[in-house]
Structure 1
Amino acid sequence: MPTLPNPIDYAVPGFVLLVLFEMWLSRRRDRSAYEPRDTLTSLGLGLGSTVAGLATGAVVVALAFAVSRHAIFNIGWQWWAWAACFVLDDLAYYWFHRTAHRVRWFWASHVIHHSSQHYNLSTALRQTWTGFFSLAFVFRLPLFLIGFEPAMVFFCAGLNLIYQFWIHTEAIRRLPRWVEAVMNTPSHHRVHHGVNPRYLDTNYAGVFIIWDRLFGTFTPERDDDPVRYGIIKQLGSFNILWAAFHEWVGIARDVWSAPWRAKLGYIVMPPGWSHDGSRDTSDSIKARWQERQPPAPGQQD
């Protein structure tokens, strides 16, 4: 079986150069794009994620090979398998990403990536420390069961992550219409990072925005509704450990204090859910916002 390199290892120098270039560009265009403490937090979270990945990667690889022994098909290394693997891996990422916003257990890991109130290339480096603990890897297990080679899947997953780096920027406004129609772009991903009610829980795509269009989760960026970044309850801190673990702490507190009948809800229900309805979820925020919108032309009573 071929041994494939980790493409992210080769991309890291490019990441660094692009962050430095965008920082230089922001000093000429918009000094507010980068905040030193926020950037350092992003870099620290990225480093911690790398360490966590090294610590748990061997277990994930072992699980992948264990599942692949029961593969339905023997796909092998044909040229078309690479294209199919890349597309299906992106589909698996879409469903992971959507679940990570709709199930609090997975959100506790993913929230790290959304915790910055700035949107720049350094934000892309805010990656989870607890993805293994939250079992995020299970979303790719079907690819091994289908019959894709584990090394191929991991390589395609690395390419997927590399692609997502460059879309974390405000320096690029819109791309040609055909690109915006098919691919995930900075405009689409800015929407995903927005806390505006209109934008909450939309645009989950990794590479291909077609998944959001297909499954009804696409929302375009609007010039009359500039994106505000972060999370509903902002961190209010640049503490790296708090950024990495604050939602896990919140889950533990809620489960401890909740009635027995409600404890599981604080793990599997959407972020913001509460047994007494005293908190806001993205759905309730969007519903209240929608009620305040004027009726569309032709819909007035």
Structure 2
Amino acid sequence: MFVFNSVMMSLLSVYSLLTIAEQYASAGLLSQISNPVIRIAVSFMLLDLTLYFWHKANHMFNFLWMFHQVHHSDPSFNVSTAFRLHLVELLLTAGLKALYIIVFGVDKAVVIISEAVITVFVIFHHMDVSVPGEKWLGRIIIVPYLHKAHHSTLREEHDHNYGAVFSIWDHLFKTIIEIRPAEIGLRYVKTQDFMALFLLGFTRFQSSRH
């Protein structure tokens, strides 16, 4: 799934986003900010906020959860979990990012930097490790113990901690939870091969989501 997604996203998503950024960088809302450092910082914060709401929407709306459940179906929690994503979810996310680039006028360099930083953080917070000072760091960024709670089998636990990089959005919008989940994954998902997971994305969600 990692290889398949990487090839598809390299061919479709990254190239498309860079092409869109090249065309719309000077036309969006952020083009009014002359200082490049401030423009990059504001752009990244707004992107992270956008991804927070997008992630939350993937849990709230049944159509989006159908695809997002593939990510949550991993019965373990490790770096490979970060790449267990359904192709349709990846394409929808790319579409959201494209809209974001057009509205705010994000240039190619910022797109590359943002994608790199977010990818590193996504890998980081799927690592099943304890981080020194994680309680303090967790007030600012998403650390593994916070995201592990997001992968709990219990819906009342996994419908929290939506942040991609910053945890400040979860604190601000009251979606933060600090627990040690007893079990990871989705109990109703039994098969784990590539085709089964691909088809799972087109399967109506289970009401309990356990």
TM > 0.5:
yes
Higher relative contact order (CA 8 A, sep 6+): 2
Shift of the alpha carbon at 1:128? Answer: 3.1
Residue in 1 that maps onto 2:178: 220
Residue in 1 that maps onto 2:154: 196
Q: 2:198 matched to 1:244?
A: yes
* Alpha-carbon distance in structure 2 between the residues aligned to 1:217 and 1:114: 18
Alpha-carbon distance change, 164 to 215 in structure 1, aligned in 2, over 3 angstroms: same
Q: Does the Cα contact within 8 Å between 1:196 and 1:227 map onto a contact in 2?
A: no
Q: Does the Cα contact within 8 Å between 1:106 and 1:136 map onto a contact in 2?
A: no
Could you tell me the TM-score, scaled by structure 2's length? Answer: 0.84
Alpha-carbon distance change, 244 to 158 in structure 1, aligned in 2, over 3 angstroms: farther
Alpha-carbon distance change, 196 to 132 in structure 1, aligned in 2, over 3 angstroms: closer
Alpha-carbon distance change, 83 to 180 in structure 1, aligned in 2, over 3 angstroms: same
Q: Does the Cα contact within 8 Å between 1:114 and 1:231 map onto a contact in 2?
A: yes
Q: Which one has a bigger Cα radius of gyration?
A: 1
The DSSP-based 3-state class of the residue aligned with 1:113 is: helix
Q: Does the Cα contact within 8 Å between 1:183 and 1:208 map onto a contact in 2?
A: yes
Residue in 2 that maps onto 1:230: 185
- The residue type equivalent to 2:71 in the other structure is H
Could you tell me the TM-score, scaled by structure 1's length? Answer: 0.61
1:161-194 Cα deviation digits (max 9, x unpaired): 2112122133316734321211111110001011
Aligned residue pair count: 207
The DSSP-based 3-state class of the residue aligned with 2:201 is: helix
Please, which moves more after superposition, 45-54 or 101-110?
101-110
Residue in 2 that maps onto 1:101: 59
The DSSP-based 3-state class of the residue aligned with 1:131 is: helix
Q: Does the Cα contact within 8 Å between 1:89 and 1:143 map onto a contact in 2?
A: no
Q: Does the Cα contact within 8 Å between 2:18 and 2:111 map onto a contact in 1?
A: no
Alpha-carbon distance change, 167 to 73 in structure 1, aligned in 2, over 3 angstroms: closer
Equivalent residue in structure 2 for 1:117, among 75, 80, 86 = 75
1:4-83 correspondence to structure 2 within 5 Å: 45-57=1-13, 58-65=15-22, 67-68=24-25, 70-74=27-31, 75=33, 78-83=36-41
Residue in 2 that maps onto 1:136: 93
- The residue type equivalent to 1:239 in the other structure is D
Please, which moves more after superposition, 88-97 or 170-179?
170-179
Runs of 4+ in 1 over 6 A off after TM superposition: none
Identify unmatched segments of 5+ residues in structure 1.
1-44, 252-270, 273-279, 286-301
- The residue type equivalent to 1:238 in the other structure is Q
Give % identity. Answer: 22
Identify unmatched segments of 5+ residues in structure 2.
none
- The residue type equivalent to 1:101 in the other structure is H
- The residue type equivalent to 1:130 in the other structure is V
Alpha-carbon distance change, 180 to 142 in structure 1, aligned in 2, over 3 angstroms: same
Shift of the alpha carbon at 1:93? Answer: 1.1
Alpha-carbon distance change, 173 to 146 in structure 1, aligned in 2, over 3 angstroms: closer
* Alpha-carbon distance in structure 2 between the residues aligned to 1:125 and 1:176: 23
Alpha-carbon distance change, 67 to 191 in structure 1, aligned in 2, over 3 angstroms: same
The DSSP-based 3-state class of the residue aligned with 1:130 is: helix
Q: CA RMSD in A?
A: 2.6
* Alpha-carbon distance in structure 1 between the residues aligned to 2:29 and 2:68: 31
